[in-house]
Structure 1
């Protein structure tokens, strides 16, 4: 024991050893205080300056990077991750003491100013944990997960410290409430001792809450769902409840992609009546850090390394980069080169513009594939979903207006209404692939009008009035009215969509299954080759799908081309020309085109030209890009709009035959009522009686019947 006599100093570090709880709390608080006051980068005290700045701005919030804490005191950071429920309140007390010291030294006041409680929020560069891996091993620990917010409740006041008053003796006492969704169990008896033996004790359950003297904070309930690209094939996306408090409330809306750092814990869900045992609890995450992924359209979880960026820029400067990209768009599909080029333009998109008055012009391209079955339309949609940075695939038959846009749901526990985002909200910044577009109900189809042009979804239901973002491209596939495209009918008879929805598509392709022996041989040979080389990775194409996805992501994030003066002049002249052609067709035939040619088609040409320039990482649109955009527009939308209208010397004979055929149809409809059952023999006999003795083209067509 000579050491004690010599006056030496002995100490122990409770952070690393087993000590009492109070002593550990004091030492941990000192360590947190030292970190906030002493941590610096490049001779700058990071958190000391941050606390001073926030106090003058009346913002009582401090965001701490866990990497900084690990670099300063690694064991303290590990304790915080393992027991955040115990150490985070100590951290907040240390932040309040640090702010009091900083402000006391920076002012001339003799006493330290009164500091309101400071909320410490955390951020980290660690990889997020998959929502499917959250289990009992993570209980009461700090976790980091990412996903999409699908619903957000209104902000409510939650009491953190109750003031209880006895009904009998009127004495008061404070009572703390657990954070998160945890409630408070009020004491059953009064703590006041009777003054004499004759005085009766207060009855059981004497306390009532005094609302005006309670301490409250803001709290919001969120629901986080897995990102679509993280959900395994055939699985249902999982979701988990979040509890956000104080400065973390009202930070996100449905459809927002974010990363959450929080404490994984449980609460008792009283509405689940079937659980008779107290050991069954519902998990949730108490949020202590929230990072909104606001990098804009084209965001993705795929990291682009410097080596990838070098390869991307090298490929962009090649002269045949456009052809290479098109060859790697759905290489398993035979032919359909123009459709692949349109899909490539859709994946890259144009340039989004925000005008000085706040109006936003969309840069996303919408494409409609309309035509015969068995032409690989759905396969093209599946490929676009796979390659797009954010892709959502849905079928028109199983989709409703609320499922595509947003729905208003009533919470079963609180009976309050809240929003849940649909497919177009969840695909914000990506591509929505809608198959069987013609099978949708007309009312559901009308619901996406605003989402396709203004790229917003306005909700005004059950007292909720808000606007959600749906900045996504739409790639839709549909069949014609008769299942197959009927060349004997006009375009408006084959297309059952209204002009309001058709004008919102930049490119509309009529896909026909043409019977050609030579083409069928090439098609059969290609399909057999795909089946034979299904396991060969080189058979898919010369570019890896992962690299193509990175290339698309990089171009969307780092390139926003604009029109050059020559390209602008050429687009203006072409728009005037196609409007003149549409008007001339209306004058000659007396029928307006099934697909209207409006100013939206001019903006579509601008977007397609910009997407072609974006593939080459070019800052300006060239005349070659405009020429290719005009060609794509002519073979798609213009061709579909003029379908059924034959003109020129080569179409005179076909036009006369079509007129005769329409005459026969009108005669049949006039002779026999609609819905009646008449034999074919009787129809031919009645028409044969009306035929004149002289042979004409009508007689020839009648014999063909």
Structure 2
């Protein structure tokens, strides 16, 4: 190919990429970019195709597809500061940190290298090598005497700079694996290690999350109310220079798409690049967003909700209704632009480091609680005391209160046959004339359990009680699965007032009350969500007064199949 034709192609490509280069700065990429060079060539009379935004090369529109270099043909030209770096994967685990010999971060990696060489045994290293996941107890780090002696402020470093510290730990362990398995280097999986830090303390409430905690480590407890579909997110993208045919790999921090502004090859002035989606140098992982609500025991009220981002092996680790303990890094994303001003508000979200699901909802009792329980055990008529303690401001109604107390205690799940389980949750329906204090009794019940919800039947819908499927914003066509009251009250209590005003909504309760599951089969989503919830409802009879000559079903005009549950 002649030089004139080559200049013509370069001019065409530059014009096609001018719009994508605006507003970018070389300084934002030079620390995250390194070069691979190969020798592809343009064959035939192929016409170069413009690439805009996130349009990747395909065999139909790429002038290089027939001669893209293979992995073995690519030669790594590292950045100058990394040429003398003793750590092979520095740019993978610490993409935003430039290597400097003798720097604090370099000393930190060296200390972790010595520490974890003795911390794990051979079997543990073999497990890490195969799984590529490191489960790290926070207490093992901050309370180790040898490590604290070398890094006295290790707890503060994890709190204030979690991504940098975890990146240094991952780099150190990756270097240990590389040194241990040098002879079998072809068999080593080069997938970056994932560190899951758990048992982080103290626990932060969702209501207390502030912008001052940006980029800091927190641990929160909440109930999952919404999940999205799993999507791929590119973490490192390979770009092909249109001038020298060199390949650069760019780390896409926070999943934000970026394009190099300058080729790093010496003597090359190319400024237009093609993203290489199918290149072996491009790395991607699963991504999922969930929303968690803070569940506060003692008042039965759902409080603030926060979006949480799951990446890699954490995706699909929980479902709506699960109570989770999440260790995460506080992040901020640009929200929607306000109409009155040109400013954008930053929205706080969490990027999960680890997700622990609470298998049981058993409360942990301290010594004072156990001492009080022993004292209650000595009372001769304990059930009467518990009954009278339920909403003491409501005088009388001892039978109604006794029924509510029995509904709170529930029963025991039994196995009738080999494959038939009998539920242990009891459902209670209170029927009475208006003005008898049933609303106050239900509110008192909702405050006695650590996981409870209070729903008004006049405003409840079938979707708000079971499952809601909504389309995600952005026009992608994906659906978001949002849990209703019965799913959120799993292993708890759901109190429903004005039950008689729920007409068609009552039919949505039959499956949950009997099978203890809610089956979803909508918009291509098929799943079963647990709803092991005790339903305690209050209803007023038709006409305002209970007619003793009629049955309960006739007084309420309720479906007999629902009443039998």
Contact map agreement 2:287 2:315 (CA 8 A) in 1: yes
Separation in 2, partners of 1:497, 1:345: 23
Separation in 2, partners of 1:149, 1:488: 47
Contact map agreement 1:50 1:62 (CA 8 A) in 2: no
Count of aligned pairs between the two proteins: 458
Structure 1 residues 397, 38: closer, same or farther in 2, change over 3 A? same
Listed as ranges, the matches of 1:524-563 within 5 Å are none
Structure with the bigger percentage of helix: 1
Residue 139 of structure 1 deviates from its aligned partner by 0.8
Could you give the per-residue CA deviations for residues 119-165 of structure 1, whole angstroms, max 9, x where no partner exists?
Answer: 11101252311112111221111111111111111222211111111
Residue 306 of structure 1 deviates from its aligned partner by 3.0
Structure 1 residues 113, 30: closer, same or farther in 2, change over 3 A? farther
Separation in 2, partners of 1:194, 1:99: 37
Indicate whether 1:225 and 2:293 are aligned.
Answer: yes
Aligned residue in 1 for 2:211: 136
Helix, strand or coil for the counterpart of 2:447? helix
Q: Rg larger in 1 or in 2? A: 1
Aligned residue in 2 for 1:183: 256
User: Paired residue for 2:124, among 50, 58, 81?
Assistant: 50
Of 64-73 and 485-494, deviating more is: 485-494
Could you give the per-residue CA deviations for residues 305-333 of structure 1, whole angstroms, max 9, x where no partner exists?
Answer: 13422432453465422222222222222
Separation in 1, partners of 2:441, 2:326: 35
Aligned residue in 1 for 2:133: 61
Aligned residue in 2 for 1:215: 283
Separation in 2, partners of 1:83, 1:49: 30
Could you give the per-residue CA deviations for residues 614-648 of structure 1, whole angstroms, max 9, x where no partner exists?
Answer: xxxxxxxxxxxxxxxxxxxxxxxxxxxxxxxxxxx
Structure 1 residues 359, 118: closer, same or farther in 2, change over 3 A? farther
Aligned residue in 2 for 1:634: none
Listed as ranges, the matches of 1:71-150 within 5 Å are 71-72=143-144, 73=148, 74-101=152-179, 109=183, 114-116=188-190, 117-150=192-225
Aligned residue in 2 for 1:353: 414
Separation in 2, partners of 1:340, 1:155: 47
Residue 489 of structure 1 deviates from its aligned partner by 4.8
Structure 1 residues 188, 99: closer, same or farther in 2, change over 3 A? closer
Listed as ranges, the matches of 1:674-689 within 5 Å are none
Which of structures 1 and 2 has the larger relative contact order (alpha carbons within 8 angstroms, sep 6+)? 2
Contact map agreement 1:48 1:102 (CA 8 A) in 2: no
Structure 1 residues 273, 172: closer, same or farther in 2, change over 3 A? farther
Residue 38 of structure 1 deviates from its aligned partner by 2.9
Separation in 2, partners of 1:490, 1:110: 79
Structure 1 residues 186, 354: closer, same or farther in 2, change over 3 A? farther
User: Paired residue for 2:110, among 5, 19, 30?
Assistant: 30
TM-score, structure 1 normalization: 0.61
Residue 184 of structure 1 deviates from its aligned partner by 2.8
User: Paired residue for 2:372, among 290, 299, 311?
Assistant: 311
Residue 348 of structure 1 deviates from its aligned partner by 1.0
Structure 1 residues 48, 373: closer, same or farther in 2, change over 3 A? farther
Aligned residue in 1 for 2:30: none
Structure with the bigger percentage of strand: 2
Structure 1 residues 445, 232: closer, same or farther in 2, change over 3 A? closer
Structure 1 residues 439, 309: closer, same or farther in 2, change over 3 A? same
Residue 503 of structure 1 deviates from its aligned partner by 0.1
Contact map agreement 1:219 1:245 (CA 8 A) in 2: yes
Could you give the per-residue CA deviations for residues 651-699 of structure 1, whole angstroms, max 9, x where no partner exists?
Answer: xxxxxxxxxxxxxxxxxxxxxxxxxxxxxxxxxxxxxxxxxxxxxxxxx
Could you give the per-residue CA deviations for residues 400-436 of structure 1, whole angstroms, max 9, x where no partner exists?
Answer: 0111111001110344102100111111111100000
Indicate whether 1:417 and 2:502 are aligned.
Answer: no
Contact map agreement 1:127 1:144 (CA 8 A) in 2: yes
Contact map agreement 1:407 1:422 (CA 8 A) in 2: yes
Which residues of structure 2 form unaligned runs of 5+? 1-98
Contact map agreement 2:100 2:106 (CA 8 A) in 1: no
Could you give the per-residue CA deviations for residues 203-235 of structure 1, whole angstroms, max 9, x where no partner exists?
Answer: x544333334311112211111221548897xx
Aligned residue in 1 for 2:12: none
Residue 51 of structure 1 deviates from its aligned partner by 3.1
Aligned residue in 1 for 2:16: none
Indicate whether 1:448 and 2:509 are aligned.
Answer: yes
Separation in 2, partners of 1:168, 1:79: 44
Contact map agreement 2:200 2:327 (CA 8 A) in 1: no
Structure 1 residues 423, 124: closer, same or farther in 2, change over 3 A? same
Indicate whether 1:70 and 2:142 are aligned.
Answer: yes
User: Paired residue for 2:491, among 429, 450, 462?
Assistant: 429
Helix, strand or coil for the counterpart of 1:476? strand
Separation in 2, partners of 1:361, 1:490: 27
TM-score, structure 2 normalization: 0.75
Structure 1 residues 232, 274: closer, same or farther in 2, change over 3 A? farther
Aligned residue in 2 for 1:555: none
Which residues of structure 1 form unaligned runs of 5+? 1-18, 40-44, 196-200, 505-705
